[in-house]
Structure 1
Amino acid sequence: MARKTARPGRTLVVFFLGLAISYGLVALGGAWKPALGLDLQGGTRITLTATGNPTPENLKEAANIIDQRVNGSGVSEAEVTTQGNQYIVVEIPGESRRDLVETVKRQAQLRFRLVACSTRDASCGGAPATDPGAGVTTQPTPSASPSAKASQKPKSSGKNRAPFLLDGKKKAGSSASPSASPSDSASSTPSATPAPDGGDLVGDPLKWKDNPDAASVAAYNKFQCPTDGSAPIVEDDSSKPLITCDDQGIKYLLSAAMIEGTDLKSASAQIPSNQVNWVVSLAFNGTGTDEFTKISKALYGTQDQFAVVLDGQVLSAPTMNGLITNGQAQIEGNFTESTAQSLATSLKYGALPIAFDKNGTSVETVGPSLAGDQLSAGITAGIAGLILVMLYCLVYYRGLGLVVIASLLVAGATTYSMVLLLSKGAGFTLSLPGIAGLIVAVGITADSFIVFFERIRDEMRDGKSMRVAVEAGWVRARNTCLAADSISLLAAVVLYIFAAGVVKGFAFALGLSTVIDLAIFFWFTHPMVSLLARRPFFNKGHKLSGLDAENLGIDRITVGGRA
């Protein structure tokens, strides 16, 4: 005998409790409208102009990195395209957000250097800092992994600003490249003789920081920080010392880089336990861990500083108050969630292989590509089609058609709550292809009902009562629907993995709707039909139930039934 459903009423209560919880989370998020894609609500278009003559391969690689940054999850519907040999166009749906614009433009060259001089110091060459900065490393504790913490000011965002460079082995005059404005770089150093000291130590930053060459110190003394918080625009060479500033106008003479961004294994934005401020956590690979261990051992117990430099600008210059050997670090400061996520995303997806012209970058607001009347017409057509499906089910299945209508309405409510939650939590944006994916899934949901109902009718034609036919038909219909939905889900997954742009949105919406269809089928439709089978209106074959003898093509309805 077919196994009967145990307590279908309890299953329905648990299902609706879960639906109520999902809408409770939506209420906590405070967003009752889904985020719309660029084609439905417009957004921001950013046009980047590459400097020099980049190869098509470098331009495409840069576009791929930017696409990962702004559309890493594949559901935010950002579009990144190349135009010609110099332009990358990024279109981001929604209101203009400064952090996303910065994420797109950021070069993401992260380097760790040692501080030889800074305007925080009274002298140069390893003198104790009178004010080492807000971010300092914390003493490791047994309960938490030790981490190096670096402070960041609110405006710490890379803007393709490269540092002022020095070569400790060359003449100061050939190393310092003056710019048009005295405030943008140092003037040429009058010395024409090689560095008398420290010049041969450039390759050993740990020794050079305590004995920087005279040419570098002279250029540092002549250098003036830009008044707008930016860094001089010259070529960044990690093998040479560096003169640059932070966004507060503090000047630094830094060693050659000890750790490169390529030594970064992961980057994430988070709020550490027992803290309330956002930080960017970094994890280095083996090479980066070894180098950071050297820095930690050399600076531990001193007031010497190291600098975290992003795109030629100092994010922070902390001291080392703990011996850090596990390659775990944290950049901390006045982060908000968006700025921390922006920085972590830029670092995680790597540095761009090309640079962009700061003056050639344009940001503009664009309107939706679909007119409002077209969108309204599409929605009206979708609603009309859904009503026709419901009317057909009512005419053909009569009383059982009410289950179809109820299931479709519950599926719609569940889908809407999931779209709202994903819009808030994962950046999902609903575009026209995404809407198409949701509408296609309605057909999948209707197919599940038809298969189930037809199985029930077949079992009743074999002489079983409705209560027995529901359970026997469920076993057969369940396997069929699982196979069909598995194929649809597999197609959505493959399309999501190998597609790009808005096609990913279609695949994501199709997969989401397919999963919701399974949930509705198992936890709403089946228990609902099981409850109705206990009602005389259905199990005795009323003419309006859709299960009467005439409609089934049999002589009479079996009430007692047999297995």
Structure 2
Amino acid sequence: MAPPTRRQRPVRTLVVLAVLVFALLGSIAAGTKWSTASLTPNLALDLEGGTQIVLTPVADSGEDVTSASITQAIDVIRQRVDSSGVAEAEITSQSGGKIVVALPGNPSEETLELVRTSAQMAFRPVLAIGNPTPTDTTPTPEPTESVAGTDPAAPAATPEPTAAAEEPSDEPAKAAPDTPSDAAYYITPAVQAQFDALDCTDAANLTGGVNGDPDKAFVTCSQDGSAKYILGPVEIEGARISSASSGLGVTSTGATTNQWVVNIAFDSKGTTQFTDVTTRLQSLAGTPPQNQFAMVLDGLVISAPSLDTGVIISDGKAEISGTFTRETAASLANQLNFGSLPLTFTVESEEQISATLGSEQLEKGLLAGLIGLGLVVIYSLLQYRALGLVTVASLVVAGLLTYGVITLLSWTQGYRLSLPGVAGLIVAIGITADSFIVYFERIRDELREGRTLVAAVDRGWERARRTILASDAVNFLAAIVLYVLAVGSVRGFAFTLGLTTLIDVIVVFMFTHPIMQLIARTKFFGQGHRLSGLDPRRLGAPGTRYVGRGRVVSGSATPEDAPVEDAALESETTTRVPVAVGAGGGGGGGLTIAERRAAARAAEQKAAADAPVDASQQSEPESGRTEGNEH
């Protein structure tokens, strides 16, 4: 005998799902009242329009702007826009070296200023490094002293008035700095307070675009948000870099190592400046992190290396080594090359643009979705009759969850729904309906084997869930690959496809299956009404059906002859031993021992009742009785 299965509680699962949906929609409703949330998702540029800015980059050195510089400038602008929370922005280059930035909706003035501001590179000394999270500097209150023998009834002493907290001073502790690495001069109380309060885990502090006063201390984050810095004044400008490249390191003997490095070369002025910097940093080798220098691009630290002991670089050629990979080394080299040719962005035009597809296309997309949904509903009702209503209810729940998640992401993460995203939602209707069909067909297969509906639901679920999970896993992996490899609006399609695949799993496990467990115990579905979609006779079930407690129903009996209570009791209290299903051969395949015995008795009774009676056998008893009477 197999061990008893864990008792299932479908009502509890449905309650948990209802709480989840209520919390999701309730959060959005609360956000519309007390925050900036909206009852509808934000739309992308192709559906809503937005602001378009055309920038003309100009090299400060007067040289021609190369395509590589344009690419680096686009990367800087994209990082700024993405970090500011604006999604689905389009940043492209046009002929003539122009950069076109299209921002959906009504972007804030701060976001527009980030696009207009030119990016700069500079080298600054490192004065302090800290963890990316804010530092709590609130003083711990001193414990109040008590005097033994104080009268409790005595009035409390009136506290002395205290002066209001003063703003941290920005005055240096000394008249002039000894070197650009003089922390005592540059780290004033105001700078320290700014450093303590800075939160580099907040994406808003990673937008860049703030380069700071070149002659003062500068507080900023690393580009990846992993650390925060206090930096000294600018010592070398990015324009002093003549070239930067990445590759495998080379030893003094000319042998190639397996370590990826970045090589920098400065021009003549930069060589002199870098010699002075490395000479001073060597004198600070014993006081880290003041022996480090930071490479700052667009106001964020992209690297902060230290010097090897005893090394003073006088030829203007430096090699940066560390835990680089091929990709990270190439990325740093590209960023340094961008610093070698700083660009100034001239705003050529700034205007509002209409939606490239507009509300008409959105309406057509939604209409296509409704038509597809209607066809799925019609098919479900024709194929599964009343059982199709479970499909309709499941699709409604999936729609509520999808709407809630997308709207919540629009509010909290700046997500915007594009037309390809709408296409992903339409495709999801078929994916979700496919999961229900797999489950229902498994239940029907169990009914064809002669099981009751309650038992068929449990057995069908055990088989169907593996198929559903495998199918959804393939769809989800496809969405991930498409999102990673695709660019532009195609990623919107991949995102909604992956999101709806996850929601499909939630709906099937937390709604469809529990609902089937509940309706299987009802008279309409449990007794196989002809309109239920689960009529065993229409499904080709065997002529004799076991209904529990050693009772069977023949194929000629009506469904009402099999009490659903007995069937439910049997399925919950009897442990089944599955065997191979066979058409004949004395097996009664797929039935328990009790089922086979009951079926055999019923078959014998039916055979005895239908067998023809021989006339000679009928006369013998009468003859015997006559002869007995004569004697």
TM-score by length of 2: 0.55
Q: Which residue of 2 aligns with 1:137?
A: 192
Q: Which residue of 2 aligns with 1:287?
A: 306
CA distance in 1, matches of 2:274, 2:364: 72
Q: What does 1:375-394 correspond to in 2, within 5 Å?
A: 375-394=362-381
- Residue of 528, 532, 551 corresponding to 1:541: 528
Q: What does 1:153-302 correspond to in 2, within 5 Å?
A: 158=209, 203=276, 258-261=293-296, 285-287=304-306
Q: Which residue of 1 aligns with 2:75?
A: 64
- Residue of 354, 358, 371 corresponding to 1:367: 354
Q: Secondary structure at the match of 1:51?
A: strand
Q: Secondary structure at the match of 1:369?
A: coil
Instruction: Judge conservation of contact 1:48–1:357 (CA < 8 Å) in 2.
Output: no
Instruction: Judge conservation of contact 1:404–1:446 (CA < 8 Å) in 2.
Output: yes
- Residue of 77, 82, 93 corresponding to 2:93: 82
Counterpart residue type for residue 431 of structure 2: I
Q: Secondary structure at the match of 1:45?
A: strand
CA deviation after TM superposition for structure 1 residue 120, in Å:
7.8
CA deviation after TM superposition for structure 1 residue 405, in Å:
0.4
Residue 16 (str. 1) matches residue 18 (str. 2): yes
Q: Secondary structure at the match of 2:40?
A: coil
CA distance in 2, matches of 1:204, 1:404: 71
CA distance in 2, matches of 1:369, 1:200: 51
Q: What does 1:448-487 correspond to in 2, within 5 Å?
A: 448-487=435-474
Residue 512 (str. 1) matches residue 499 (str. 2): yes
Q: Secondary structure at the match of 2:496?
A: helix
CA distance in 2, matches of 1:418, 1:391: 27
Q: Alignment RMSD, CA only?
A: 4.4
CA distance in 1, matches of 2:185, 2:305: 34
Instruction: Judge conservation of contact 2:120–2:343 (CA < 8 Å) in 1.
Output: no
- Residue of 441, 458, 475 corresponding to 2:428: 441
- Residue of 109, 118, 124 corresponding to 2:121: 109
Q: Secondary structure at the match of 2:42?
A: coil
Counterpart residue type for residue 14 of structure 1: V
Tell me: CA distance 1:3–1:390, structure 2 relative to 1, closer, same or farther (3 Å): farther
Q: Secondary structure at the match of 1:203?
A: helix
Instruction: Judge conservation of contact 1:205–1:258 (CA < 8 Å) in 2.
Output: no
CA deviation after TM superposition for structure 1 residue 133, in Å:
7.4
CA deviation after TM superposition for structure 1 residue 553, in Å:
2.7
Counterpart residue type for residue 77 of structure 1: E
Structure with greater Cα Rg: 2
Tell me: CA distance 1:38–1:453, structure 2 relative to 1, closer, same or farther (3 Å): same
Q: Which residue of 2 aligns with 1:6?
A: 8
Residue 37 (str. 1) matches residue 44 (str. 2): yes
Q: Which residue of 2 aligns with 1:248?
A: none
Tell me: CA distance 1:24–1:202, structure 2 relative to 1, closer, same or farther (3 Å): same
CA distance in 1, matches of 2:110, 2:493: 26
Instruction: Judge conservation of contact 2:294–2:304 (CA < 8 Å) in 1.
Output: no
Q: Secondary structure at the match of 2:58?
A: coil
Deviation string for 1:305-326 (max 9, x for gaps)? xxxxxxxxxxxxxxxxxxxxxx
Q: Which residue of 2 aligns with 1:527?
A: 514
Tell me: CA distance 1:398–1:350, structure 2 relative to 1, closer, same or farther (3 Å): farther
CA distance in 2, matches of 1:167, 1:398: 76
CA deviation after TM superposition for structure 1 residue 367, in Å:
1.0
- In structure 2, the gaps of 5 or more residues are 128-169, 200-204, 216-232, 236-271, 282-291, 310-331, 549-566, 577-631
Give aligned pairs, total: 399
- Residue of 92, 99, 103 corresponding to 1:92: 103
CA deviation after TM superposition for structure 1 residue 539, in Å:
1.1
CA deviation after TM superposition for structure 1 residue 74, in Å:
11
Instruction: Judge conservation of contact 1:42–1:93 (CA < 8 Å) in 2.
Output: yes
Tell me: CA distance 1:149–1:488, structure 2 relative to 1, closer, same or farther (3 Å): closer
CA distance in 2, matches of 1:549, 1:529: 16
CA distance in 2, matches of 1:200, 1:539: 87
- In structure 1, the gaps of 5 or more residues are 140-145, 169-198, 209-256, 268-281, 291-346
Instruction: Judge conservation of contact 2:457–2:517 (CA < 8 Å) in 1.
Output: yes
Tell me: CA distance 1:51–1:108, structure 2 relative to 1, closer, same or farther (3 Å): closer
Counterpart residue type for residue 109 of structure 1: M
Q: Which residue of 1 aligns with 2:259?
A: none
Counterpart residue type for residue 48 of structure 2: Q
- Residue of 403, 411, 431 corresponding to 2:398: 411
Q: Which residue of 1 aligns with 2:326?
A: none
CA distance in 1, matches of 2:196, 2:303: 11
CA distance in 2, matches of 1:357, 1:201: 25
CA deviation after TM superposition for structure 1 residue 56, in Å:
1.7
CA distance in 2, matches of 1:74, 1:508: 17
Considering Cα pairs closer than 8 Å and 6+ residues apart, tell me whether 1 or 2 has the greater RCO.
1
CA deviation after TM superposition for structure 1 residue 357, in Å:
4.1
Q: What does 1:294-333 correspond to in 2, within 5 Å?
A: none
Tell me: CA distance 1:101–1:205, structure 2 relative to 1, closer, same or farther (3 Å): farther
Tell me: CA distance 1:108–1:504, structure 2 relative to 1, closer, same or farther (3 Å): farther
Tell me: CA distance 1:112–1:57, structure 2 relative to 1, closer, same or farther (3 Å): closer
Q: Which residue of 1 aligns with 2:477?
A: 490
Counterpart residue type for residue 376 of structure 1: E
Instruction: Judge conservation of contact 1:470–1:530 (CA < 8 Å) in 2.
Output: yes
Q: Secondary structure at the match of 1:136?
A: helix
Q: Secondary structure at the match of 1:545?
A: coil
Instruction: Judge conservation of contact 1:470–1:529 (CA < 8 Å) in 2.
Output: yes
